[in-house]
A = this chain, B = another copy of it.
Amino acid sequence: MSRVPIAGVGMTKFGKNGERTSREMFAEAAGKAFEDAGLAPDDVDEVFYGNFMGEIAEQQGHSGPLAADSAGVTAPSTRIESACASSGAAVRHGVNRIRNGDVDVILVGGAERMTNISTAEGTAGLAAAADALWEIKSGVTFPGAYSLMANRYFHEHGGSREDLAEIAVKNHDNAVENELAQFQMEIDVDDVLGAPTVCSPFGLYDCSPMSDGGSAALLVSEDFADDHGLGPDVAIVGTGQDGDRLALHDRVSMTRTPAAERAAQMAYDDAGIGPDDVDVAEVHDCFTIAEVLAIEALGFYEPGEGIKAATNGETAIDGDLPINLSGGLKAKGHPVGATGGAQISELTKLLRGDHVNSEAVSDADIGLTHNAGGTVASCVVNVLEVMS
């Protein structure tokens, strides 16, 4: 399928900024994207906005038109909600709209405000991404669900808490120089193992944080890019999405994520590539085990072999396949509705050469984002390529 140039990207600093509204954070991110692209709000033909828990945290639904308005845009706008994959889905639907051929400029992205409510309220709000009738009523929240997946993974394939800790250490390392990241601090394996237990086997550092933030990207048609001399350096060349049963107990396996496997295959087919062609990836590490499941589902590792990737340094900044050079959800932060768009923003900069960690991937041509909702009941994969 046709490639969709990314004309500009932007995101707020992620962190604990609960006094800011989602609309304000999206406006900042969109403003940065306009500046980055050299475009104006009047250029935008449509808006897809990702947000997950606005009704709970801000008493605000119907946020598509609100997001458009906050960015200065008057155009059709739709709020896309797919839990933590909301803005990854917004990006995908934006790509498909550009490919329809009847719009030239789409503003995509998302925002989430999470720390203005208590951690308990936030945890309960996040649980709305699980099955209310069967999981939430049983007391399951996401640290619990993912810890079940981690324990089962250990049972089936081996691996240890230390292996998971190496993932958190790596992603913190990657974030140290990233001024947009929530946690610009190094940690070591002992810090992870010694942290308070959240839900065994997870300690505090196995879990991504509650965060506030916004992200945005401007996708354009190739004709528009040519006509306006935008010369964007990176394009989306493949996109895929799939779903699964919402409740973990309804799945065939607790250590496989077929929604991600199918989304990846769809994106690879769309881009005309395979997993071996990917040079760098941003994956959905909401918990340390989630990064393992992601790199296996994406075909980078066979099932059961992803657990040692960080331990062996293969996914480190100087490894064969750097994963989460932004810091990932773990260290960059995870304002859920903004996360998929932030993956696009960070990866675009990494591939263009203007990210603090770009030097590590100066030869990279192809990057990939993996954005998951719930316990991967939904997943969106986008493939980015440097335009020659």
Contacts and interface: CB of A to CB of B under 8 A. Distances in A.
Contacts of A65: 82, 243-246, 259, 373-374, 377-378
B56 A243 contact: no
Contacts of A120: none
A80 B83 contact: no
A242 B73 CA distance: 11
A82 B55 contact: no
B243 A74 contact: yes
B76 A61 contact: no
- Chain A interface residue count: which class? 35 or more
Given A56-B55, A102-B1, A61 B83 contact: yes
A365 interface: no
Interface in A354-388: 373-374, 377-378
Majority SS at the chain A contact face? mixed
Interface in A25-80: 47, 52-56, 58-66, 68-69, 74-80
A373 B62 contact: yes
A20 interface: no
Contact of A76 (B47, B68, B77, B242): B242
Interface in A258-279: 259, 263
Interface of A: 1, 21, 47, 52-56, 58-66, 68-69, 74-83, 89, 93, 96-97, 99-100, 102, 125, 127-133, 136, 241-246, 250, 259, 263, 373-374, 377-378
Given A53-B55, A60-B128, A76-B242, 6 more contacts: A55-B125, A56-B56, A65-B82, A65-B245, A77-B243, A99-B100
13 contacts: A53-B55, A59-B132, A60-B132, A61-B81, A61-B128, A62-B82, A62-B374, A62-B378, A64-B81, A66-B377, A69-B243, A78-B93, A96-B96
